[in-house]
Structure 1
Amino acid sequence: MRLINRYVLGFLVMGLVACNDDYLERYPLAELAPENYFNNATELENYTNAFYNELPDALAIHYNAPNQADDEARSTVADEIQGTRITPASGGGWDWSELRRINFYLENSHKCTDEAARLRYDGVARFFRAYFYFDKIVRFGDVPWYDSVLEIDDEGLAKARDSRNFVFDKMLEDIDFAIANCPIEKSGQLITKWTALALKSRMCLFEGTYRKYHELGNWESVLDNCITASEELMDAGVYSIYKSDPNTAYQELFIAEDAITSEMILARQYSIAIPLVHSANFYILSASYGRPGVEKSLIDSYLMADGSRFTDNPSYKTMQFYEETQNRDPRLAQTVRTPGYKRIGENKTSVPDFATCVTGYQYVKYVLAPNFDTGNSTNDMPIFRYAEVLLNFAEAKAERETLTQADIDKSIKLIRDRVAMPNLDMAAANGMPDTYLAAQYPNVSTGANKGVILEIRRERRIEMIKEGLRYRDLLRWKEGERLEKPFYGMYFPGTGEYDLDHDGVIDLVIYEGTKPTTVPGRQYQKLGELVLENGASGGRIINNPSILKSWNEAKDYLYPIPTQDLLLNPNLVQNPGWDNSGI
């Protein structure tokens, strides 16, 4: 069954099994009595279909501001970046209803006498329990572990938080069960053995590096689990890096109507026929949805096409748009509009639109033809893809100081081969670590692998942009202070007329005072509304210069527990630094 249909069916199933989202509320036995359900494979499948609704959708990928972290600037600034989060009274991610549904299933699936079916769907359920708890430990750190359905008078409801180490060990038990019992048949829409390996790779990389950089101890074996899971998936030969023309292959992954399953391990599926659509085009190209633009430090991180560092050029800081986009890693032109860009379905070239992009670096990743601009995009959204697993493998080995050039050749090289970029040379990277990257990531140790760790982080940022991973990457690397830095856009030497793509036609006019007589086809930006570092003397665009950004190293790596939950359970202890004055 297509995953898109599973979502639809999932909503119907949830309507049968629950009357509200309260973890303490019993399921209405008149609607779904355990003794009358869970008797065969179809019933197990139908119940577990509902769990797929917990997977991220296109809205989470595009509009959840913290996901983009320092990769993207917008006309607004998220609370996580402003440092204006407060302790909520309720909600805030401290929700356990989905866990109850999973545990309810696992307590009753034994009623099915078809053991093969039970093991299969128990594997799916335990995948989703590991997935559920992964989000919880990322968000809150220590959390209570529940693997049974608790009733309203159960003492377990008042338990203290379990340590993240204990919870993570339980997550490993769940994901290993899923790996052993989920189907081996490849699917871009269903949970399989390969999806479970991809989740294990992701969650172990997060937890291992989080423990390392936050000095929590016991990180080595967790990274070893990441390496083992990644390598098992790699050695299976089920997935590969999608390749076609190096100048289009990367972009093709994200505009495909149906997920390219040679690389996409799991994707959220969309179709106009259901209808189930998303608004990627509208989000990226409208003036009313945040005007997202790629941040300049990411643009500067792209290598030259010959593999050399763009930032080694002494004049890189003052290069204008046309010059800075020439002879770069082909993924740059497949991620943002660069000179010569032609939109899908159009023959004319288009320059960045400053009315809909605050930095000038406007996304083309995910953007379809103009007929999808009204919020009816149908390209599938990635959740897990093979390139991430390769990056996880390389990073974990580098952090464990077991990485070899042969490891790079079977991971990073495959990703770069897609766009005909030179391979990463481990000895060269470690022999002369990039000072530009070192300034971005000051917490990377000065060990023998410093240079290659920095290069793997470069590769990850470029390859995985706008796939919902960046904020968590900064959390696990303990680099949250990057979010305090100004978010920059294109460089302009001052007011004047600009031919952005060097086609002989003026595209942009930056002016002071009275707006010049308008000429059709030109964009006009008033200085002050478009803010340059040095005003009329030029500089990079500064986004939201009047909004203070603040990161508190003592508390901001975790979210607060809602005050109502602290009142209901006196054994819960608030995360460090968060205010409980609402109690």
Structure 2
Amino acid sequence: MKKQISILAIAAAGLFSSCSKFMDRQPLSQIAPDQYFNNDNEAKFYLNSLYSIFPNAEGVYNEDIDNIVKQSLGDNITGRRTVPLTGGNWTWGELRKINFFLDNYNRVMPESQAARYAGVAKFFRAYFYFDKVQRFGDVPWYSHVVLQNDKVMLTKARDPRKLVVDSIIADLDYAIANIDDAAAPAGTTPTEVVNRFTAMALLSRVCLYEGTWKKYRGETGWEALLTKGAAAAEQLMNTAKYKIYKSTPNKAYLELFASIKPIQEEIIFARNFSNELSVWHNVNYYTITSSYGKPGLDKELVNSYLMADGTRFTDINRYDTITFYAETQNRDPRLSQTIRTPGYARIGTTNPLVPDFGASVTGYQLIKFVTDMSFDSFNRSINSMPIFRYAEVLLNYAECKAELGTLTQADIDKSIKLLRDRVAMPNLDVAAANANVDPYMEAQYPSVIGGNKGVILEIRRERRIELVMETYRWNDLMRWKSGQSLVRQFKGMYFPGVGQYDLDRNGKTDVHIYEGTKPPAVAGVQYFKLGTEIDLTNGATGGNVIINRSTAKTFQENRDYLQPIPIQERQLNSNLSQNPNWVDGL
């Protein structure tokens, strides 16, 4: 990724002398400013440079909040975050590129020709600013390139969050109205370019985020935002442009993420990778080695998967003492397409594999995004990474309607039902969900109240399961004001105590937990000394694998929903206020 430059750091020494160098620099697209985008090709060429704003593959699959647990915990969970001196995601270089285009795109081309390209640029500005709002809340809104001597703009205060969000929505409305197929570079596939459908998807995401952010903080205006979010999602749904990918219930979900090329019927936009272009990522290596924290699904999420008949796993008597083989039988098929379960074999092989605790600290070893073994070497994976997919849009639609209190069974039938149909799961029944609220889900999200509580919780269950490993979880918890979910003890598989365990019931020991001296080694057996190499909740009498028992987790409700503004930025611009309860000494 290109190094980005803070719009305020350029105001450092010499009364903005560094700013002069930055603002006079030719954009990275290599189009000279005096050309002012004379034709379609120049506009497309310039816009291509903006795609680096999207997350890389690791930014998609490398989720490690509470869905995915690793050996070590991030600073945002342990309370070790401090106010950074510089950086801290307060970066503005990409915005300058976007605004340069919007200041100049129609100097030569007539507006009727150029508006389609302005729509793409405004999509990117909306995407850029949405990220900033999620991180920092109030941020300064810049709709034009900041001139080198404009001290007022370079030192402006943060604009109110509402102004920024309203501006994001206006940009996306423009993008939806003006982007057409002519804005796409020649030779690109629909999943490689921003189009009006991508803008609809982003608009539904933005409005759901901001609407629920406001609702769960008792602020006004959330109804209008959720109404617009539902409308944006429904607009995309009504185009019939996309659908949920289906093959067979026990393969379709896995196939969607293991596909080298994005499956265009569901994927709206993806980042692509290629051997020919020497562009790779690392997801196979990440999941099969111990080098990246040994990621594994958390026990709470595993418990949340329904039974195959739609009943709740957590309604089973003593569900919390059920061992691995039994707990993975007759569950929502997405569980066995997200982690290794009995009978799992790598793509392209028939050799069954049990979970490898050497690569998964919880024992619930990830297989989502994992492809065949030819891509197992370091940084050699090339399957595409979805940035926008239709499943999210359906979830956005259902959640907006549920939070508004306007959700009907017909709404579920054209949204959540389609996700469950992929894996042959029973449909969600609105009346039944509200009449019989799941206490397990209720305990996770105590702030959900009202007559629609049951179905809201079921939609949250669906969202967590469907979108796991796709980098949504942190922002979901933040908008729901559910930061306290992060301070609970993370857990893995249940073992009744020391002894030998056959995880897939093929008659062979897979895991041996022991005390004292290590038993003589047997090929294929994973040995763990209790208290040293594995930790159980109740020690020798059994329990769940415990992750990071000695690491304290903390989340400050009055502080941690927003990130701090870096110290240097506030030194350069005294008009920048700090986010609440972040102490930086200024």
Considering the TM-score relative to the shorter chain, is it more than 0.5?
yes
Q: Following superposition of structure 1 onto structure 2, how do residues 234-249 of structure 1 map, counting pairs within 5 Å?
A: 234-249=237-252
Whole-angstrom CA distance in 2 between matches of 1:336 and 1:452: 26
**Contact residue 40 and residue 114 of structure 1 kept, 8 A:** no
| Distance verdict in 2 for CA 1:127–1:527, change over 3 Å | same
**Contact residue 60 and residue 387 of structure 2 kept, 8 A:** no
SS at match of 1:332: helix
Measured after TM superposition, the shift of residue 22 of structure 1 is: 4.8
Whole-angstrom CA distance in 2 between matches of 1:347 and 1:51: 43
Equivalent in 111, 114, 118 of residue 118 of structure 1: 114
Q: Which residue of 2 aligns with 1:174?
A: 171
| Distance verdict in 2 for CA 1:29–1:519, change over 3 Å | closer
1:262 aligns with 2:265: yes
SS at match of 2:191: coil
Given residue 317 of structure 1, which amino acid in structure 2 is its aligned partner?
Answer: D
Measured after TM superposition, the shift of residue 113 of structure 1 is: 1.6
Whole-angstrom CA distance in 1 between matches of 2:51 and 2:202: 14
Equivalent in 148, 153, 161 of residue 149 of structure 2: 153
Measured after TM superposition, the shift of residue 68 of structure 1 is: 3.7
**Contact residue 287 and residue 359 of structure 2 kept, 8 A:** yes
Q: Following superposition of structure 1 onto structure 2, how do residues 207-356 of structure 1 map, counting pairs within 5 Å?
A: 207-356=210-359
1:69 aligns with 2:34: no
Given residue 309 of structure 1, which amino acid in structure 2 is its aligned partner?
Answer: R
1:163 aligns with 2:167: no
Whole-angstrom CA distance in 2 between matches of 1:571 and 1:443: 35
Measured after TM superposition, the shift of residue 35 of structure 1 is: 1.3
1:80 aligns with 2:76: yes
1:400 aligns with 2:395: no
Q: Following superposition of structure 1 onto structure 2, how do residues 362-401 of structure 1 map, counting pairs within 5 Å?
A: 362-374=365-377, 375-401=379-405
| Distance verdict in 2 for CA 1:50–1:531, change over 3 Å | same
1:95 aligns with 2:91: yes
Q: Following superposition of structure 1 onto structure 2, how do residues 465-476 of structure 1 map, counting pairs within 5 Å?
A: 465-476=468-479
Whole-angstrom CA distance in 1 between matches of 2:73 and 2:225: 34
Whole-angstrom CA distance in 2 between matches of 1:215 and 1:91: 32
Whole-angstrom CA distance in 1 between matches of 2:356 and 2:120: 44
Deviations 1:28-59, CA, capped at 9 Å, x for gaps? 35975411341111111111111100101111
Deviations 1:310-365, CA, capped at 9 Å, x for gaps? 00001210000000000000111000000000111222100000011000000110
Identity across aligned pairs (percent)?
53
Equivalent in 433, 455, 458 of residue 458 of structure 2: 455
Equivalent in 471, 485, 488 of residue 485 of structure 1: 488
Range moving further from structure 2, 123-132 or 364-373: 364-373
Deviant stretches of 4+, over 6 Å:
none
Whole-angstrom CA distance in 2 between matches of 1:523 and 1:114: 69
**Contact residue 21 and residue 97 of structure 1 kept, 8 A:** no
Given residue 414 of structure 1, which amino acid in structure 2 is its aligned partner?
Answer: L
Q: Which residue of 1 aligns with 2:512?
A: 509
Q: Following superposition of structure 1 onto structure 2, how do residues 122-133 of structure 1 map, counting pairs within 5 Å?
A: 122-133=118-129
SS at match of 1:194: helix
Given residue 113 of structure 1, which amino acid in structure 2 is its aligned partner?
Answer: M
1:579 aligns with 2:553: no
Whole-angstrom CA distance in 2 between matches of 1:247 and 1:36: 55
Whole-angstrom CA distance in 1 between matches of 2:70 and 2:26: 48
Q: Which residue of 1 aligns with 2:52?
A: 53
Q: Which residue of 1 aligns with 2:38?
A: 39
**Contact residue 510 and residue 527 of structure 1 kept, 8 A:** yes
**Contact residue 119 and residue 176 of structure 2 kept, 8 A:** yes
Range moving further from structure 2, 151-160 or 426-435: 151-160
Given residue 39 of structure 2, which amino acid in structure 1 is its aligned partner?
Answer: N
**Contact residue 133 and residue 139 of structure 2 kept, 8 A:** yes
**Contact residue 298 and residue 364 of structure 2 kept, 8 A:** yes
Whole-angstrom CA distance in 2 between matches of 1:117 and 1:253: 37
**Contact residue 22 and residue 96 of structure 1 kept, 8 A:** no
Given residue 402 of structure 1, which amino acid in structure 2 is its aligned partner?
Answer: T
1:28 aligns with 2:21: no
Relative to the length of structure 1, the TM-score reads 0.94
| Distance verdict in 2 for CA 1:362–1:21, change over 3 Å | farther
Measured after TM superposition, the shift of residue 112 of structure 1 is: 3.2
Whole-angstrom CA distance in 1 between matches of 2:10 and 2:389: 34
Whole-angstrom CA distance in 2 between matches of 1:28 and 1:547: 47
**Contact residue 204 and residue 230 of structure 2 kept, 8 A:** yes
| Distance verdict in 2 for CA 1:563–1:313, change over 3 Å | same
Measured after TM superposition, the shift of residue 119 of structure 1 is: 1.2
**Contact residue 41 and residue 114 of structure 1 kept, 8 A:** no
Deviations 1:123-163, CA, capped at 9 Å, x for gaps? 11000000000000100001111001112321111111111
Given residue 542 of structure 1, which amino acid in structure 2 is its aligned partner?
Answer: I
Whole-angstrom CA distance in 1 between matches of 2:239 and 2:31: 40
Whole-angstrom CA distance in 2 between matches of 1:199 and 1:32: 28
SS at match of 2:66: helix
SS at match of 2:334: coil
Measured after TM superposition, the shift of residue 111 of structure 1 is: 2.2
Measured after TM superposition, the shift of residue 567 of structure 1 is: 1.0
SS at match of 1:383: strand
Q: Which residue of 2 aligns with 1:4?
A: none
Whole-angstrom CA distance in 1 between matches of 2:540 and 2:362: 17
Structure 1 gaps, min length 5:
1-6
| Distance verdict in 2 for CA 1:255–1:116, change over 3 Å | farther
Structure 2 gaps, min length 5:
12-18, 183-188
Whole-angstrom CA distance in 2 between matches of 1:27 and 1:431: 63
Q: Which residue of 1 aligns with 2:14?
A: none
Equivalent in 409, 421, 425 of residue 421 of structure 1: 425
* C-alpha RMSD of the superposition: 1.9
Whole-angstrom CA distance in 2 between matches of 1:241 and 1:511: 47
Whole-angstrom CA distance in 2 between matches of 1:526 and 1:385: 44
1:552 aligns with 2:548: no
**Contact residue 531 and residue 542 of structure 1 kept, 8 A:** yes
Deviations 1:55-87, CA, capped at 9 Å, x for gaps? 011111233xxx442101101100001111000
Relative to the length of structure 2, the TM-score reads 0.94
**Contact residue 294 and residue 358 of structure 2 kept, 8 A:** yes
Whole-angstrom CA distance in 1 between matches of 2:288 and 2:313: 28
Given residue 428 of structure 1, which amino acid in structure 2 is its aligned partner?
Answer: A
**Contact residue 240 and residue 263 of structure 1 kept, 8 A:** yes
Range moving further from structure 2, 319-328 or 103-112: 103-112
Whole-angstrom CA distance in 1 between matches of 2:294 and 2:136: 31
Deviations 1:527-581, CA, capped at 9 Å, x for gaps? 1121100111110011011111100000000000011111111111100010122
SS at match of 2:132: helix
SS at match of 2:106: helix
Whole-angstrom CA distance in 2 between matches of 1:117 and 1:521: 65
SS at match of 2:149: coil
**Contact residue 333 and residue 423 of structure 2 kept, 8 A:** yes
